[in-house]
Amino acid sequence: MKSNLFSRIFLFYFLLIINNIILVVIYHFSHKHCTPFYVSLLYFRLGN
C-alpha cells in the first residue's frame, strides 16, 4: 500500500512538472510568433 501511494504521488508530480514545461514552451512560442492559437491552447489546458 505504501509503495502504491508513493508511486501515485511521484506520477502526479512527474505529470505536473511535464505540464509546466509544456506550458512554458507554449508561452515562449506564443511570444515569438505572436499567434493567439498557442495562448488559447494554454488557457484551454489551464481550464482543464
Task: Write down the residue that cell numbers 506550458 correspond to.
Answer: 23
Q: How confident is the model at residue 34, as a pLDDT? A: 53
Closest CA to 38 of 19, 20, 25, 21: 25
Neighbours of 30 (CB within 10 A): 17
* pLDDT of amino acid 12: 92
Distance of CA 41 to the CA centre of its chain: 11
pLDDT at position 38, please? 64
Report the C-alpha gap between 36 and 48 in whole angstroms. 18
Along the 48 residues of the chain, how does pLDDT read in single tens digits? Answer: 678 899 999 999 999 999 888 888 877 776 665 556 666 777 777 765
Return the domain boundaries, the chain: 2-47
pLDDT at residue number 13? 92
* Residue 31 in grid coordinates: 511570444
